[in-house]
Amino acid sequence: MEEREVVVIGAGPAGLSAALEAARSGAHVLLVDENSKPGGQLFKQIHKFFGSRDHRAGVRGIDIGTQLLEEADALKIEVWLDAEVCGIFNQRDVWIVRNKEKSVNVRAQRIIIATGAVENSVNFPGWSLPGVMGAGAAQTMINLHRVLPGFKVLMVGSGNVGVIVSYQLLQAGADVKAIVEAAPRLGGYGVHTAKVRRAGVPFHTSHTVLEARGTDHVESATIVQIDDKWQPIPGTEKVLDVDTICIAAGLTPLVELAFAAGCEPLYSPLLGGMVPWHDASMRTSIPSIYIAGDISGVEEASTAMEEGRMAGLSAAHSLGYVAEQVYEVGFKAAEQRMLALRSGLFGQKRRDAKAAIMAQTRG
């Protein structure tokens, strides 16, 4: 069996940040990712991020990704790509299948799970037709793979993902025919909704998608107004000429690995559903296992990076790598940056939900 001090699972914004922080602290880190390229979903974020200078605000996600990879290179962090983690045993042993052919067990003193999240779906007649896809899938196609999955798009959901991807579809040359939102008010930041609105994209609040039609691919979508009990109002149906329907209905944390390893779960609907319990240092109920990013509750890339830094620093500290005082200063600074990201009208709910998790004690 191979041995490493810290194994980080997932090389997205959270995992990369965790690996960097742990390595900077002096720990020997192995970063594994099932994909052939690191970065997770960061390289499809082509917009400039919000936040402050400390959060690299104003820099595009793709460029933050490049910076993180350069830092990982400079620190000579060991990275295994095409490496799928199939299980964690005895709270320490990480079972990894490399390149779909070689099974390897790595004994880790600390494990940081940063597996991210998966997009939710919305079920309606025709939802399985080709052309119906996650908003993030469309974003992957246009920004990573440079192919347009369709020319005429209906976006379902007006949260930040829905409006940002709508904007990026316009940038890629598609026409976004409408954005429907089931709630009576739009979900995303006003600055995002305003920029797609002035580009001519109409919003329909209190509307949902009723049906997708087509033979081998989406050829039209029917939207309908819904009442305050979320029931369709007959007679308000509209048929839209679209070839693509993007679903932006939130994400669910990818918790399987953590739960199979024995991390205690708890339910936090605001953060995406079941998440592993964790404390402020991002440690789960199993002392050797930490989590960071969307697995610990769905937020944003910027919060994922902060959580990664906190998890990496805490894991290294628990191995004796960071002097107490240095740890306290570093941790406080990360907490302050995190508070700023979770402040205001939009952040307050997430801040409360996170506080509710940490108020419980486990382990």
Which range binds another protein by CB under 8 A, 2-10, 18-26, 184-192, 272-280?
Answer: 184-192
Using the minimum distance from each CB to another protein, give the nearer residue, 29 or 133.
133
Q: CB 215: neighbour CB atoms within 10 A?
A: 7
Question: Three-class SS of residue 177?
Answer: strand
Question: Three-class SS of residue 239?
Answer: strand
Using the minimum distance from each CB to another protein, give the nearer residue, 49 or 290.
49
Contact (Cβ atoms closer than 8 angstroms) between residue 134 and residue 121: yes
Task: Tell me whether strands 117-119 and 102-113 are parallel, antiparallel or unpaired.
Answer: unpaired
Question: 86: part of which helix (H) or strand (E)?
Answer: strand 83-89
- Asked if 205 interacts with another protein (CB under 8 A), we say yes
Which range binds another protein by CB under 8 A, 16-24, 73-81, 118-126, 223-231?
Answer: 118-126
- Asked if 359 interacts with another protein (CB under 8 A), we say no
* Interacting residues with another protein between 325 and 344 (CB under 8 A): 340-344
Q: Of 70, 77, 92, which is closest to residue 28 (Cα–Cα)?
A: 77
Question: 137: part of which helix (H) or strand (E)?
Answer: helix 135-139
Which range binds another protein by CB under 8 A, 20-28, 57-65, 102-110, 229-237?
Answer: 57-65
In angstroms, what is the minimal distance from the CB of 283 to another protein?
26
Using the minimum distance from each CB to another protein, give the nearer residue, 48 or 326.
48
- Asked if 133 interacts with another protein (CB under 8 A), we say yes
Cα–chain center distance at 166: 18
Cα distance between residue 279 and residue 52, in whole Å: 25
Using the minimum distance from each CB to another protein, give the nearer residue, 12 or 312.
12
* Interacting residues with another protein between 249 and 308 (CB under 8 A): 254
As a whole number of Å, the CA-based R_g of the chain is 21
Q: CB 152: neighbour CB atoms within 10 A?
A: 16
Contact (Cβ atoms closer than 8 angstroms) between residue 175 and residue 150: no
Among 81, 137, 274, 280, binds another protein (CB under 8 A): 137
Cα distance between residue 261 and residue 95, in whole Å: 11
In angstroms, what is the minimal distance from the CB of 289 to another protein?
22
Cα distance between residue 176 and residue 191, in whole Å: 17
Q: 68-107 mask for another protein (x: CB under 8 A)?
A: ----------------------------------------
Cα distance between residue 131 and residue 125, in whole Å: 13
- Asked if 34 interacts with another protein (CB under 8 A), we say yes
In angstroms, what is the minimal distance from the CB of 142 to another protein?
6
Among 8, 16, 29, 41, binds another protein (CB under 8 A): 41
In angstroms, what is the minimal distance from the CB of 11 to another protein?
13
Using the minimum distance from each CB to another protein, give the nearer residue, 5 or 299.
299
Q: How many binding residues for another protein (CB under 8 A)?
A: 80
Return the amino acid letter for 96: I
